[in-house]
Structure 1
Amino acid sequence: MSRKTVEARSFLPLCRRPYSSTARLCQHPRPATAPKQHPHLAQIRDNVELYEHNAVVRNYHGHKDIPRKVAENVRKMTTLDHRLNGPRHTLKELQKQMNATAADKSEIIAQMRELRAGVSTLEDQREKLDAETRAMALSLPNLTSSETPTDGEPRLRTYINYDPESPPKYSNSADHSVIGERLGILDFSSASVASGWGFYYLLKEAALLEQALVQYALSVAMKHGWSVVAPPSLVYSHVAVACGFQPRDQNDEQQIWQVAQPAKDAGKPTRSLAATAEISLAGMHAGKSLPENQLPVKLVGSSRCFRAEAGARGVDTKGLYRVHEFTKVEMFAWTDCPAPTGGLPEESSWVQSSTQVFDEMVGIQVEILSSLGLPCRILEMPSSDLGASAYRKIDIEAMFPSRKKRDGGWGEVTSASICTDYQSRKLDTRILEMSGSKKKFAHTVNGTAMAIPRVLAAVLENGWREEDGCVIIPEVLRAYMGGMEKIGPR
Structure 2
Amino acid sequence: MESLAQDLPNLSSTHTPVGYTPEVVEYINDHPEPEPSKSDRVWRSHVHIGSELGLIDFGGAAQTSGWGWYFLLNDGAMLEQALVQYALSVAKKRGWRVVAPPSIVYSHIAAACGFQPRDQNGEQQVYTIEQADKDRAKPSLALAGTAEIPLAGMKANQTFEDVELPLKTVGVSRCYRAEAGARGVDTKGLYRVHEFTKVEMFAWTLPDNVEEEYFVTPAESTSESIFDEMLSIQKEILQNLGLHCRVLEMPTTDLGASATRKRDIEAFFPSRREKDDGWGEVTSTSMCTDYQSRRLHTRVRLDKANRKLDFPYTLNGTALAVPRVLAGILENHWNEHDYTVTIPEVLRPWMGGADKIQGDHHKHGTGSY
Q: Common fold, TM-score beyond 0.5?
A: yes
Aligned partner of 1:376 in structure 2 is 245
Q: CA deviation at 1:278?
A: 0.1
Bigger drift between 290-299 and 430-439 goes to 430-439
Q: Summarize the alignment of residues 445-464 of structure 1 with structure 2, pairs less than 5 Å apart.
A: 445-464=315-334
Q: How big is each residue's C-alpha offset from its partner over 1:194-249, in whole Å with a ceiling of 9 and x where there is no partner?
A: 00000000000000000000000000000111010000000000000000012677
SS at match of 1:252: coil
User: Over alpha carbons, which structure has the higher Rg?
Assistant: 1
Q: Which runs of 5+ in 1 are unaligned?
A: 1-131
Q: Summarize the alignment of residues 133-212 of structure 1 with structure 2, pairs less than 5 Å apart.
A: 134-163=2-31, 166=34, 169=39, 171-212=41-82
Of residues 110, 115, 134, the one that matches 1:240 is 110
Q: Summarize the alignment of residues 164-313 of structure 1 with structure 2, pairs less than 5 Å apart.
A: 166=34, 169=39, 171-246=41-116, 252-312=122-182
Q: How big is each residue's C-alpha offset from its partner over 1:364-415, in whole Å with a ceiling of 9 and x where there is no partner?
A: 0000000001000000001100100000000000000000000000000000
- Is the CA contact 1:378–1:395 (under 8 Å) kept in the aligned structure 2? yes
- Tell me: higher relative CO, structure 1 or 2? Use CA pairs within 8 A at least 6 residues apart: 2
- Is the CA contact 2:147–2:200 (under 8 Å) kept in the aligned structure 1? yes
Amino acid at match of 2:311: F
Q: CA deviation at 1:165?
A: 9.7
Q: How big is each residue's C-alpha offset from its partner over 1:64-102, in whole Å with a ceiling of 9 and x where there is no partner?
A: xxxxxxxxxxxxxxxxxxxxxxxxxxxxxxxxxxxxxxx
- Is the CA contact 1:337–1:350 (under 8 Å) kept in the aligned structure 2? no
- Is the CA contact 1:463–1:473 (under 8 Å) kept in the aligned structure 2? yes
Q: CA deviation at 1:339?
A: 5.2
SS at match of 1:317: coil
- Is the CA contact 1:321–1:457 (under 8 Å) kept in the aligned structure 2? yes
Of residues 214, 235, 238, the one that matches 1:345 is 214
Q: How big is each residue's C-alpha offset from its partner over 1:289-311, in whole Å with a ceiling of 9 and x where there is no partner?
A: 11101110000011000001244
Q: Which has the higher strand share?
A: 2
- Is the CA contact 2:28–2:235 (under 8 Å) kept in the aligned structure 1? yes
Question: Equivalent pairs: percent with the same residue?
Answer: 59
Amino acid at match of 2:190: L
Q: CA deviation at 1:326?
A: 0.2
- Is the CA contact 2:52–2:359 (under 8 Å) kept in the aligned structure 1? no
- CA distance in 1 between partners of 2:289 and 2:209 (Å): 13
Q: Return the TM-score normalized by structure 2.
A: 0.92
Q: CA deviation at 1:440?
A: 0.6
Q: CA deviation at 1:252?
A: 1.5
| 1:466 and 2:336 aligned | yes
- CA distance in 1 between partners of 2:351 and 2:312 (Å): 40
Q: CA deviation at 1:187?
A: 0.0
- CA distance in 2 between partners of 1:148 and 1:321 (Å): 26
Q: Summarize the alignment of residues 6-155 of structure 1 with structure 2, pairs less than 5 Å apart.
A: 132=1, 134-155=2-23
- Is the CA contact 1:188–1:201 (under 8 Å) kept in the aligned structure 2? yes
- CA distance in 1 between partners of 2:183 and 2:23 (Å): 29
- CA distance in 1 between partners of 2:239 and 2:76 (Å): 21
Give the length in aligned residue pairs. Answer: 357
- CA distance in 1 between partners of 2:178 and 2:134 (Å): 27
Q: CA deviation at 1:350?
A: 8.7
Q: Which runs of 5+ in 2 are unaligned?
A: 361-369
Say what the alpha-carbon RMSD is for the aligned residues: 2.1
Of residues 165, 186, 192, the one that matches 1:316 is 186
Q: CA deviation at 1:174?
A: 1.5
Q: CA deviation at 1:352?
A: 1.4
Aligned partner of 2:363 in structure 1 is none
- Is the CA contact 2:162–2:301 (under 8 Å) kept in the aligned structure 1? yes
Bigger drift between 159-168 and 386-395 goes to 159-168
- CA distance in 2 between partners of 1:451 and 1:311 (Å): 22
Q: Return the TM-score normalized by structure 1.
A: 0.70
- CA distance in 1 between partners of 2:220 and 2:152 (Å): 18
- Is the CA contact 2:301–2:308 (under 8 Å) kept in the aligned structure 1? yes
Aligned partner of 2:365 in structure 1 is none
- CA distance in 2 between partners of 1:239 and 1:308 (Å): 18
SS at match of 2:283: strand
Q: How big is each residue's C-alpha offset from its partner over 1:106-145, in whole Å with a ceiling of 9 and x where there is no partner?
A: xxxxxxxxxxxxxxxxxxxxxxxxxx2x331222000000
Amino acid at match of 2:232: G
Q: Cα gap change, 1:298/1:362 in structure 2, threshold over 3 Å: closer, same or farther? A: same
- CA distance in 1 between partners of 2:274 and 2:236 (Å): 28
Amino acid at match of 1:380: E
Q: Summarize the alignment of residues 322-401 of structure 1 with structure 2, pairs less than 5 Å apart.
A: 322-338=192-208, 340-342=210-212, 345-346=214-215, 348-349=217-218, 352-401=221-270
Q: Cα gap change, 1:238/1:489 in structure 2, threshold over 3 Å: closer, same or farther? A: closer
Q: CA deviation at 1:348?
A: 2.5
Q: CA deviation at 1:312?
A: 4.2
Q: How big is each residue's C-alpha offset from its partner over 1:275-326, in whole Å with a ceiling of 9 and x where there is no partner?
A: 0000000001000011101110000011000001244487731000000000
Bigger drift between 239-248 and 192-201 goes to 239-248
- Is the CA contact 1:213–1:450 (under 8 Å) kept in the aligned structure 2? yes
Q: Cα gap change, 1:222/1:309 in structure 2, threshold over 3 Å: closer, same or farther? A: same
- Is the CA contact 1:212–1:477 (under 8 Å) kept in the aligned structure 2? yes
- Is the CA contact 1:471–1:488 (under 8 Å) kept in the aligned structure 2? yes
